[in-house]
């Protein structure tokens, strides 16, 4: 089983739609969780950190479910500019803290 | 302020040649990471530095790959005797504090093509 798994998609949605991605992780010692966004041929950029209590930033909501070992990202009122690949990142506590990236979920928002 | 910079932005080389990739992290960032991303693939962790030391080198694909960091700042990734399968985008990232627990800021990457 891969350490961090994501549905590669693509998720093809119309403008204004609500879309949700999940990401599962295998290491129960994981302590830090992030969502990054990567545009085509660009570097990844932090979208948001994921906190235990869940957190919201405008149209974006991230949640963590430790019991089931997954994190989620919800995007409301999708914009054309949301089209990108969304990368899930998980880092374990202790040891060498190497962050593990999922392979990403591709989102295409169409008019 | 200045972000993470990488050079060269693009590199085309012949199989068997050595290449050196450079990363300038954000000033003051303690941790520095190297990743590799092949076309349409996810990020593959290569190595990270905490200061000038590399606690974990297990991600380096082979002994042809090496990396160093000096002065707690600039890092170079060297690939010796390049092979075609080394073709990828090499991304560098830095973070302020302890590796993994902090936001990583990525450079634009070096696109390496081995002919």
Longest dimension (CA), chain A: 46
Task: Work out the pLDDT band at B41, boundaries 50, 70, 90.
Answer: confident
Give residue A12's pLDDT.
97
On the question of a cis peptide bond just before residue B7, with omega within 30 degrees of 0, the verdict is no
Tens of pLDDT, residue by residue over B82-92, are: 999 999 999 99
Which residues of B are less than 8 Å from A31 in CB distance?
A: 101
Tokens of residue B75, six digits? 């890092």
pLDDT tens per residue across all 111 residues of chain A: 568 999 999 999 999 999 999 999 998 888 889 999 999 989 999 999 998 888 999 999 999 999 999 999 999 999 999 999 999 999 876 555 678 899 999 999 999
On the question of a cis peptide bond just before residue A10, with omega within 30 degrees of 0, the verdict is yes
- The DSSP code sequence of B5-41 is EEE-SEEEE-TT--EEEEEE--TT--EEEEEEE-TT-
Q: How far is A42 from chain B (nearest CA, A)?
A: 7
Q: How far is B30 from chain A (nearest CA, A)?
A: 14
Write the CA distances from B24 to A10, A51, A54, B29, integer angstroms: 34, 30, 34, 10
Residue B100 has pLDDT above 60, yes or no: no
Kindly give, in sequence order, each residue whose CB lies less than 8 Å from that of residue B114, ignoring residues fewer than 6 positions away: B13, B14, B15, B82, B83, B84, B85, B86, B87
SS3 state of residue A82: helix
Task: Work out the pLDDT band at B18, boundaries 50, 70, 90.
Answer: very high
Task: Work out the pLDDT band at B101, boundaries 50, 70, 90.
Answer: low
B4-13, B24-33, B50-59: least confident range: B50-59
Give residue A70's pLDDT.
94
Kindly give, in sequence order, each residue whose CB lies less than 8 Å from that of residue A49, ignoring residues fewer than 6 positions away: A32, A33, A34, A55, A62, B103
Do A76 and A59 touch, CB atoms closer than 8 A?
A: yes
Q: In whole angstroms, what is the distance from residue A22 CA to residue A34 CA?
A: 12
Do B11 and B111 touch, CB atoms closer than 8 A?
A: yes
Which has the closest alpha carbon to A31: A95, A104, A102, A103? Answer: A95
Write the CA distances from B40 to B52, B55, B68, B89, integer angstroms: 32, 29, 28, 11
Which residues of A are less than 8 Å from B91 in CB distance?
A: 43-44
Beta bridge partners of B44: B36
Give residue A23's pLDDT.
96
Question: Do residue A42 and residue B108 have CB atoms under 8 angstroms apart?
Answer: yes
Q: Is B99 on the interface with A (CB under 8 A)?
A: yes
């Amino acid at each position: 089983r891969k350490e961090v798994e994501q549905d590669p998609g693509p998720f093809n949605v119309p403008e204004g739609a609500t879309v949700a991605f999940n990401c599962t992780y295998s290491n129960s010692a994981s302590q830090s969780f992030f969502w990054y966004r990567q545009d085509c041929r660009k570097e990844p950029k932090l979208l948001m950190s994921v906190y235990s209590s869940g957190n919201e930033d405008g149209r974006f909501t991230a949640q963590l479910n430790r019991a089931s070992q997954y994190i989620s990202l919800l995007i409301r009122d999708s914009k054309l500019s949301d089209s990108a690949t969304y990368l899930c990142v998980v880092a374990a506590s202790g040891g060498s803290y190497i962050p593990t990236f999922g392979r990403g979920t591709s989102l295409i928002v169409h008019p | 302020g200045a972000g993470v910079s990488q050079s060269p932005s693009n590199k085309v080389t012949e199989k068997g040649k050595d290449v050196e990739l450079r990363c300038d992290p954000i000033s003051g960032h303690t941790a520095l990471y190297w990743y590799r991303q092949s076309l349409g693939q996810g990020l593959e962790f290569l190595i990270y530095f905490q200061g000038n030391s590399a606690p974990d080198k297990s991600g380096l694909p082979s002994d042809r790959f090496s990396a160093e960091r000096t002065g707690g700042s600039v890092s170079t990734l060297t690939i010796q005797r390049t092979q075609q399968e080394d073709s990828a985008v090499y991304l560098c990232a830095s973070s302020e504090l302890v590796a993994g627990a902090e936001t990583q800021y990525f450079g634009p990457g070096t696109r390496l093509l081995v002919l």
